[in-house]
Structure formats: C-alpha cells, structure tokens
Amino acid sequence: MADKPAHQQCINVRCQATFDIAEALVACPTCDSLLDVKYDWDKVHLPKTLSDFNKRWARRDRMLDFSGVWRFRELLDFCDDRYKVSQGEGQTLLQRCDGVGQYVGLKQGGLFLQYEGLNPSGSFKDNGMTAAFSHASMIGAKRVCCASTGNTSASLARYASAAGMEAIVFVGSGRIAFGKLAQALDYGARTFQIAGDFDDCMARVKEATAALGLYLVNSVNPFRLEGQKAIMLRVLEGLGWDVPDWIVVPGGNLGNSSSFGKMFGELKELGLIPRIPRLAVINSSGAPTLDRLVNEKKLTYNGGEFDRQVIVDDFKWQDDTNTKPHTIASAIEISKPVNTTKCLRALEICDGVVRQVPDFEIMDAKAQVGRHGLGCEPASAASVAGARLLVEQGVIDRDARVVCILTGHPLKDPNASVGYHTGQYDPDHQVEGERLYANMPIPVANDLDKIVEAIETKA
Ligand code: F0G
C-alpha cells in the first residue's frame, strides 16, 4: 500500500501536517481540523483527456471498470485494486428533464437531473462507501460504524455485509425514514437508536470510534469523499465532458459539496477541464446552519484564513438556545455539519452560493420530480427547489445549463410522499402549504359502473 502516490493532509493552512494513507484518521491529531487525501499527480497514470475514460465502457465485464466510481480510479488513486470493495455502484444517469426545467424556470434543454437514487442502496452514499470500505479493507479494519440520518447507515450496512465486516450504526430515535431503517436492519447492521438527533449521534459515534478503535465511515473520513468525486465525473461524462454552468446540491453534513469542490479544483489544476462550474448548496429552512453562516454571518473561506470562531459561536448558540433542526427532509436534518470548513473551501473554489428553502417548496419540487418520471426523496428535492429560487432571484440565468443532484430514491421515504398527496403527514412531520401538485387517491365502490364513471370523471 505504501507505493500508492497518495497521503493524507490536514486542511488547516497553518498546520498542513501529513499522514500516511494507511492511517485511519477522521481529524488531524495536532489541530483537530479535517483531512484531505492528496496525490502526487506526477506519479499517477492520468488520462490525457477525460474522454479517455470512455474506453472503460467496453470492459464492463470487469468489476472495477463497471463501477461508476472505480472506472475513474486514476483520480482517486489511494488503494491497490486487490483491496477494492465494489457493489457495482454509480450506474446512475444524468437525465435532461424539460418538465422540471420549466418548473425551475429554465429554458428548454437547460435542466439536468443526476439521479443518484439508482445506486445499489438507493442513494449517492454508495459512491463514498465503496471508497471508504476499500480503505478499511486495505488497512484491515474489522468493525465499521457511522452516525446517520438513514442513507449512510443503509449504505454502510450493505457494504459491510458484502465485505464481511461488523456494522455498527447510530441513528436518532424516530428520526429516520422507514425505507432506510429497514435497509440497515435487513442488511444486518447492529442499529443503535440513540435518544437524540443526528448531531448527537455524530458526537457520540466519534467518541465510540476513539474508545473502541472502530472504523468511522461518516464524511469526516477523507477517503469516503474521494469516492463521491465520481458523481461529478459522471455528470461531466453525461454532458459529453462539457462543464455545466451550475451544480445544485442539497446540504446536510456537507460531504457532497465538499467533495465536488475538491474534484473541480483538482480537474482544473490538472488541466482536464477548462473552467469550474458554480456550486449552489441548498439547506432546508428547518436546518439552515450553512445559510446562516454564509449569508447572515458573511463567513467565507478566505483562502483558509477564515474566522473559525464564527462556527464555534454558532454551534454554541444552538446549544444555549436549544435550537434544534426540524424538517420533513429528514436526511438533511442536521444543524452542526461536520464538513463546514471543507464546504466553505468548495464555495470558494466554485464561486458558490447557499440558500435555504421551506419544506412545502421541497415537497412541491419533489412532486414535480416524480411527475416527470424520476422521483426522489424529500432532501434531494431541495436541489430543485433551490434552483427554482435562484432562477427567480436572477442568480441563475434562465438560459443556464444547470445540474441538480437527486441524492436519494423516492422509496426511501414513502410516508413523506403519501403525506403530501393525501394531506395526512405523520404527526411529527407536518408540512404547512397548499400541496400544489397533490395527486389524491380516489375512493370508489367495488362496482364496475361506478369505476367507469370515476375514470371518465376528470377533476
Ligand atoms: N440527500 C440525502 C438523500 C442524504 O441522505 C443526505 C445525507 C444529504 C442529501 C446531505 O448530504 O451530508 O453530503 O450534505 N445523509 C446523511 C446520512 C447525513 O446519514 O445518511 P451531505
């Protein structure tokens, strides 16, 4: 493993301590900042152009060429092939969607949806999990763990059962959608329902990791974020290796946005793309920490010389005032995102913006995504609602080419969908608003005439 041209490095510009790739670290031991995986690009066998990767399509009988992550393996070259754990992740599509584009306010051909719900466990997490598990297997880890709003635990559970490792997951009691809980249980993960929310689970799982020497696969794991870079490669591939104008992504723990920024920074540095797209990170109004930090408190990365105290004070204010996140988009019900600093860096690299959207707009946008044939879970639709807001605000041009990331499959959270269409949300997840695209089920007697009459009667 030592012959791989990669190492870990502290992202704090005043520290920059380096560590071997064989170490399992989730923070810099010196200054507690996040870590990056860095490459010695001169030693990597890079393609001359990104389109060289297309050749791998002809060799899809080989697992690593089939994987939508590992077929770009030179751009995340930290692990020997023999350790790689793949589940055929990343068979996901970038789809042009004019119907949703019209809803967002873009011209024909302007909106693309990157449907990550097609992954093996039904969310984008599998992109990161294959990378984290490959690292775990490379260093001989036996017990893997995470805190989760649901999708990370489902993905971890699936990869752990495939890799023969013990899976330990922490979820907030009553805080995750049943589709996701069902997966974690089915795949055999030991699932601990902590009496608290995601942020509590995250804090406890870090402590448990340290206490028990577990292998943590949350997005503080720098190897996981390397896998998620592949989502952007597939977006570029879907556009014939052209760069879109905007990438719009929901923001929860901020792993995706961080990893997208890193990927675009690297591709530009390597001369593999001519320009970097702009990035929009969308919070739910029920968990708007990033929006508050960036838009109210004007926090910027400032080349790494940012004011850390602003984040510390915000998190403390949340504790002091007992301010808790609450949103129907349970996947992004997170108010102390662990990747805040990396996300600030991504916003700087990509000239990014942050917005928040209310739950009723998220649910309307979700219904639009469903109505136009794709479907997604609530958190994913924040990207579409956010793009719509940004077009309305004139930040995104009407003739721009925009990619929204649909992070999770619609069946992850059927309660939210049925709640929207019937108006009967779960008691803990009521959403105010008109439900503009509700498609109510129609009760009919068990009688052909009545059924015919009902079918012929248009509302
Ligand atoms: N969308 C979905 C469907 C998610 O599951 C998550 C995160 C996000 C968006 C936010 O992504 O953290 O990269 O900003 N879910 C995590 C989990 C936290 O535990 O499953 P992020």
Segment 26-70, tens digit of pLDDT: 999 999 999 999 999 999 999 999 999 999 999 999 999 999 999
Rounded CA-CA distance 339/227 in Å is 16
Mutate to test the pocket of ligand 1, among 256, 338, 341 (most ligand atoms within 8 A of CB): 256
Band (167; pLDDT cuts 50, 70, 90): very high
Ligand 1 atom 15, closest CA: 331
253 within 8 A of 339, measured Cβ to Cβ: yes
Residue 310 has pLDDT above 60, yes or no: yes
Q: Which two three-digit tokens encode residue 301?
A: 């990365």
pLDDT value of residue 97: 98
pLDDT value of residue 458: 81
Mutate to test the pocket of ligand 1, among 159, 332, 347, 366 (most ligand atoms within 8 A of CB): 332
Band (175; pLDDT cuts 50, 70, 90): confident
pLDDT value of residue 297: 98
With pLDDT > 70 as the criterion, what percentage of the chain qualifies?
A: 100
Task: Please state the domain extents for the chain.
Answer: 93-121+225-429
Sign of the CA dihedral 352, 356, 360, 363? positive
Within 6 A (CB) of ligand 1 lie: 123, 148-152, 219, 250-256, 331-332, 377, 379-380, 407-408
pLDDT value of residue 92: 95
Band (272; pLDDT cuts 50, 70, 90): very high
Angle at 153 between CA 147 and CA 156, to 5 degrees: 110
In tens, the pLDDT along 339-384 reads 999 999 999 999 999 999 999 999 999 999 999 999 999 999 999 9
Model pTM greater than 0.95? yes
Average pLDDT over residues 92-113: 97
Q: Which are the contacts of 141, defined by CB distance < 8 A and separation ≥ 6?
A: 24, 165, 215
What separation in Å is there between the alpha carbon of 458 and the centre of ligand 1? 39
pLDDT value of residue 174: 82
Ligand 1 atom 10, closest CA: 252
What separation in Å is there between the alpha carbon of 135 and the centre of ligand 1? 21
Residue with tokens 């939210």: 416
What separation in Å is there between the alpha carbon of 28 and the centre of ligand 1? 23
Rounded CA-CA distance 106/108 in Å is 7
Mutate to test the pocket of ligand 1, among 151, 225, 254, 347 (most ligand atoms within 8 A of CB): 151
In tens, the pLDDT along 319-332 reads 999 999 999 999 99
Which numbered atom of ligand 1 lies nearest the CA of 218? 19
Ligand 1 atom 12, closest CA: 253
Ligand 1 atom 4, closest CA: 331
Rounded CA-CA distance 43/64 in Å is 21
Which numbered atom of ligand 1 lies nearest the CA of 376? 3
What separation in Å is there between the alpha carbon of 283 and the centre of ligand 1? 11
Rounded CA-CA distance 431/131 in Å is 37
Angle at 22 between CA 21 and CA 25, to 5 degrees: 80
Angle at 421 between CA 417 and CA 422, to 5 degrees: 115
Residue 408 has pLDDT above 60, yes or no: yes
Which numbered atom of ligand 1 lies nearest the CA of 258? 13
Cβ burial, residue 65 (10 Å; 0-12/13-18/19+): middle
Which one-letter DSSP state was computed for residue 204? H
Which numbered atom of ligand 1 lies nearest the CA of 147? 19
Which numbered atom of ligand 1 lies nearest the CA of 155? 20
Cβ burial, residue 304 (10 Å; 0-12/13-18/19+): middle
Ligand 1 atom 6, closest CA: 331
Which numbered atom of ligand 1 lies nearest the CA of 256? 13
Query: How many Cβ atoms from other residues are within 10 Å of residue 188's Cβ?
Result: 13
Rounded CA-CA distance 241/277 in Å is 12
Q: Which CATH architecture has domain 93-121+225-429?
A: 3-Layer(aba) Sandwich (3.40)
Average predicted confidence (pLDDT) for the chain: 97
Which one-letter DSSP state was computed for residue 378? H
Which numbered atom of ligand 1 lies nearest the CA of 151? 20
Band (134; pLDDT cuts 50, 70, 90): very high
Which numbered atom of ligand 1 lies nearest the CA of 150? 20
Mutate to test the pocket of ligand 1, among 34, 119, 123 (most ligand atoms within 8 A of CB): 123
